[in-house]
Chains A and B, each alone.
Chain A
């Protein structure tokens, strides 16, 4: 059974960088059959896709966040990471990592999700 676990600081100061890691257990991140993504959730904006990465490090980002986001993968540690720079209170959210299925060569939906981690941006 695949298990994803987010980790990182729960409190980040405004203008600083938010860094989270998603550790994958029960499966290997260096599989060509999946992508790995970050999604955040707030009461006001709902679920927002941040971006995704594959095992080779190829990324795709939401244009609304692209200038501040970096997603990377470390296959040796079986984890992938999120960096979001210059955070403001608007970046306060529950952050989820998730696996994205690839079926017949097409990227599909997110079939496994981490439990989520609340990150608060405040001084």
Chain B
């Protein structure tokens, strides 16, 4: 199974400041046919189900604010919230869909 290791486990960021969440994959998730990484990011607010933010490592889902962005470097992936808003308090998860079984990272809790 592909293991996704997220860091940090939690972070506190001031309103308007940048939040950076990391996700490291135990092996490549690059789909060579499209030259795209099979990596998604989700946001889960308290008491809610996960919400898709980004797929193909960098593609923002429709309706997601542009303060959310994804970046990639080999097996290292980053979710950045450029200017944290109060409504961004949540747990963020990465997920790979390169191979079965689909796997998720352990989550990063973002607080103000």
Are A and B a genuine interacting pair, yes or no?
Answer: yes
- A residues with CB within 8 A of B: 46-49, 60, 62-64, 96, 98, 101, 104, 106-111, 113-116
Known: A104-B34, A109-B55, A111-B61. A96 touches B49 (CB 8 A): yes
For A111, the chain B residues whose CB sits under 8 A away are 52, 61
Tell me if A110 and B106 are in contact (CB < 8 A): no
Chain B binding site: helix, strand, loop or mixed by DSSP?
loop
Could you name 20 residue pairs across A and B whose Cβ atoms are closer than 8 Å? A46-B106, A46-B107, A47-B107, A48-B104, A49-B101, A49-B103, A49-B104, A60-B100, A62-B100, A63-B101, A107-B97, A108-B97, A109-B52, A110-B52, A110-B95, A111-B61, A113-B49, A114-B49, A115-B49, A116-B49
Give min CB distance, A108 to chain B, whole Å.
5
Task: Pick from A60, A104, A108, A109 the residue with the most CB of B within 10 Å.
Answer: A109
Contact count band on B: 20 to 34
Tell me if B51 and A49 are in contact (CB < 8 A): no
For A63, the chain B residues whose CB sits under 8 A away are 101
Give min CB distance, A40 to chain B, whole Å.
11
Known: A115-B49, A116-B49. A108 touches B104 (CB 8 A): no
Chain A binding site: helix, strand, loop or mixed by DSSP?
strand
Tell me if A110 and B50 are in contact (CB < 8 A): yes
The CA-CA distance from A111 to B55 in the complex, in Å, is 10
Instruction: Identify the 3 closest CB pairs spanning chains A and B, nearest first.
Output: A109-B40, A113-B49, A47-B104
For B77, the chain A residues whose CB sits under 8 A away are none
For B93, the chain A residues whose CB sits under 8 A away are 46-47
Quick one: which of A46, A60, A64, A114 contacts B104, CB cutoff 8 A? A46
For B38, the chain A residues whose CB sits under 8 A away are 108
Is B102 positioned at the interface, with any CB of A under 8 Å from its CB? yes
The CA-CA distance from A82 to B102 in the complex, in Å, is 17
For B103, the chain A residues whose CB sits under 8 A away are 49
Tell me if A109 and B97 are in contact (CB < 8 A): yes
For A109, the chain B residues whose CB sits under 8 A away are 40, 42, 52, 55, 95, 97
The CA-CA distance from A104 to B107 in the complex, in Å, is 29
Quick one: which of B40, B49, B106 contacts A108, CB cutoff 8 A? B40
